[in-house]
Structure 1
Amino acid sequence: MFHYTVETEKSMDEAIQSLEESLKEEQFGILWQFDIKETLQNKGFDFEQPYEVLEVCNPKEANNVLTENQLVGYFLPCKIVVYQDLETNKTKIGLPKPTALIEMVNEESLKGFAADIENRLITCIDKSI
């Protein structure tokens, strides 16, 4: 599976706040928070699902992987999505797995970097639920 997704009883705002705290523990910061619902509605689309995309980065790790292979920059920063499942009315948090993305570069030396980042981000997500 190319992604990791969990469900929480927390509101989206609570989940994002908790996620931000756990990311800081791993030296990741939220560079940008994109509100898809608001953006699409401002463009005239009838999109009702609350859906946020967080772009997160750990500068040290970004430097490490970019030094190895600049093509990894195509996947940076890492993305974590937080959205309201309209069927269950629960908040979901997920990310595309860095190990799945790194397969596209096809460089063995980067697989360990990707696995470490993936495990750390999943831990952050799990702590936030």
Structure 2
Amino acid sequence: MSYTLNKQVDGEFDAVVATTVDALEAEGFGVLCDIDVQGTFAAKLDEDFRRYRILGACNPRLAREALGAEPELGALLPCNVVVDETDERTVTVRAVDPERLLAVAENPALDDVAADVRERFERVLTTVAETG
């Protein structure tokens, strides 16, 4: 069973990253961190790697609700969205499946938050796929 929601997009990597950030913002998420895996591996390991970005996304209202129900949940936040250059013209956008992620807490009070975040991430991926 997959723990991510995925969309493959034909497009230029940086444009897909920008579209992903815009789509996240439209759904109420801010990007708290942006990890350039390719750049980090080059700088720290002197190794080549494909273009790969990890965007740490957070919707403050939903995070507040979830942390109110489960204070330890902060260890799993923010929700990660990955933009990965599969090849020259194909980029894969992956979002953590919040229902799978929050299930580890075994707290039914998180079910509605998880479903809400999943619906928002699915809309983000649809927007990214339509925009390319």
**Is it true that 1:34 corresponds to 2:64 in the alignment?**
no
Provide the TM-score with structure 1 as the length reference: 0.92
Q: Secondary structure at the match of 2:106?
A: coil
Q: 4+ runs of 1 displaced by more than 6 Å?
A: none
**Is it true that 1:43 corresponds to 2:44 in the alignment?**
yes
Q: CA offset at residue 69 of structure 1? A: 0.6
Q: Where does the alignment leave 5 or more consecutive residues of structure 2 unmatched?
A: none
Alignment-derived partner of residue 98 in structure 2: 98
Q: CA offset at residue 20 of structure 1? A: 1.6
**How many residues are paired up?**
128
Alignment-derived partner of residue 13 in structure 2: 12
Q: CA offset at residue 107 of structure 1? A: 0.8
Q: Deviations over 1:56-80 (max 9, x none)?
A: 1111111110011112112111100
Provide the TM-score with structure 2 as the length reference: 0.90
Q: Distance in 1 between matches of 2:58 and 2:112?
A: 17
Q: Deviations over 1:90-114 (max 9, x none)?
A: 1000012010011110011111111
Q: CA offset at residue 89 of structure 1? A: 4.7
Within-5 A mapping of 1:58-77: 58-77=59-78
